[in-house]
Structure 1
Amino acid sequence: MDKKKSLKNHILFWGVLLFSFALIQFFKEENTESFGAIFAQNLKHLPAYLIATYGFNNVLLQYYYKNRQYILFGLFTIVLFYVASAFDRIFTVYVYEPIFRERPFEQESLLQIFSDWEFLINGYLIPLLMATFAMTINRVIAQKNKHEKALLQLERDKNRAELGALKAQIHPHFLFNTLNNLYALTLQKSDKAPETVATLSAMLDYMLYQCNDKLVPLEKEVTLLENYIALERLRYGDDIEIAFAKANPLPPETQIGPLILLSIIENAFKHGASGSTGIPEIHIDLTWEGSQLYFTVKNTKNRETQVDTTAYTKGIGVSNIKKQLALLYTDYSYEVTDENGWYCVALRIHTERTR
């Protein structure tokens, strides 16, 4: 916290405290003075309040109580409040009364002030203790809030690092698959190769340079999905049926965790299209209702069980998706069904409830 902000907080604290003291005195039954006059009279106690509160919190608590020197802490606390009470009386007698009190009047000597301990305790100690207690509680709450903010920031930094690691896993995996597709097209001397390079370039530009934030615009993620589907259409041609349905228009300013949707689609192509003996089908549906986003991907299953040589489903597939969702959102669901020849992933995200 910078010094200017700290000074403002201290001024605010003392303003509220003195106002509260004046308010209590104003509503006493025997009171006949105005609130302004009472508040002005309370200002004369401020120097003693400052000595007691800051001496107790900045010196005694810091150097004696925290170092477990409890006997010295107790003794110095008694001395501090007695001296502060005496100082409050001295300030009243030698500074305040000569200015505001009508003369002539008799002034107490310093010895009389310090020796009249009963009068000091009854007339000055209680407000000093209340002011000090208020300052101590205020600092405890401030320290607790500061500690909680530090822990929250630490957790956010940790989550950001974990998300970065997860996305770093996705990039090489996606690039490896796409380059294999491009290699196959070049071996066939296909006219689709230049188009594939252009689409891949646009995707990599987005994935490497534009999706480094915690959340990204949904519109850009949808464009990424469309480019990926375009690459797969180039690869498979008429040997696959792909349907991508999305409600129009896209919700304005809606953001989502980057590459989550892509991971689900990539998984569907990998396990639903690669190595299939028939014509595989992949159905993709993207809808939303208010702040709720619904994303469903269905793909036909291969009859022959494939060996996952890349450990996609165990390493950076389903596990990766679940980890990202848990790090980003507090309200979501991720359900997988495997029945009747179809593998279906249903994702729901409340886009406004992020961590």
Structure 2
Amino acid sequence: MQASDSIASLKQASGEPFSLIFPKNGHTRLLMHVSFWTLFVISHLLYFWPLSYQIQITRPMLAAYGLYYLRYIPVFYGCMLVYHQLRGRLGGFQLWFSVLVASLIAIHLSTLAMFYIASVSLDIEHAAPAFQMLWRLYMESDLLSRKGLFMVFYDFEDLQLLLLPASIKVFKTAIINERIRMQIQKEGLLAEINSLKAQLSPHLIFNLLNAAYAELLPFSHKAASYLASLSSVMRYTLYKGTQHAVALKEEIGCLKDILALESARSQSRSKISYKQLGRIKPEHQVPALLLVSLAENAIKHGVHDSYQKSYVRIKANIQDDTLHFYIINSLPQLPESDAGRRPDSGIGLNNIVRRLKAQYPKQHSFTISKNESSFAIDLTLPLRAKNLL
């Protein structure tokens, strides 16, 4: 399930009122946006209705002020685009200050464009005196002059009219983010409960494995080392698997144990390799079982599903507090009649993609490359992510 599907399901589960206010249907959303901005422009033009007894309302005047209020539409959506582009890179004061600066630039440029269009297509001389004054201010003044400072002040004052649509957008985003956070916490709690249910006397199991290791060691060091690796993997998945974040060193240690066991099981039929560049720091963290799950997916589809020569190659590069994890596995060569029935990666990778989007919003990259003979995953993520739950 992708992150967008998760948001859609949360909206649906939240009840009918939420769906009516923030519909997920594209046509309905477009209709609501058009309706809102139509009411926005008309309601501001109705401001002149009480003045119709004092001044003459002309078509050029209404057209000029119609352009004046219509310019808020591209400004609003442009600022929202800037917000979504910077949200994963900046936070707090830096994010909102950047959006404010972008809003001031956008409102100033849109005002200049509006006055230029008005001067070309409308008769400025028949527009309202206030509109004519602003037209001269923007079209004939230098931005660095005293009048230019007044223009900046006027641009800032103009942003007040964007408070209503911006508040609606912020309110919607806050509701969705809160519901996603609660859903993630709920899923984590359920996973922890299920894990606790599955823990049938774990200490007894580990004691038995340690006893078997001690009995086996005098006869076969290799078999004893395999049993020790199995015990380490079980201990890690049991005690660390329910945590949101673990030390990268521990995750890599479990990954190496699994690769060693799989290499021993498949023997000469498969070649499994792991290469690491860079130094792991104590503060480096990753989501629990993330790398292990990627390795298990590669082993399942590259080794277990094949009776031919196969391979799994993993490369981890740690540089500047960033992990670049690349894994590629061979795919079994199927007859042409069965080529369309090649097994898919299934739910596992979809859950990983969803988890990465929730914990590293716009801070990671996850690329899948696939052909008839191989399947590769290229993952890059920060090792000190602020949003890592």
Which of the five TM-score ranges fits, normalised by the shorter chain?
0.3 to 0.5
**Bigger relative contact order, structure 1 or 2, given CA contacts below 8 A and separation 6+?**
2
TM-score by length of 1: 0.46
Larger radius of gyration: 1
TM-score (norm 2): 0.42
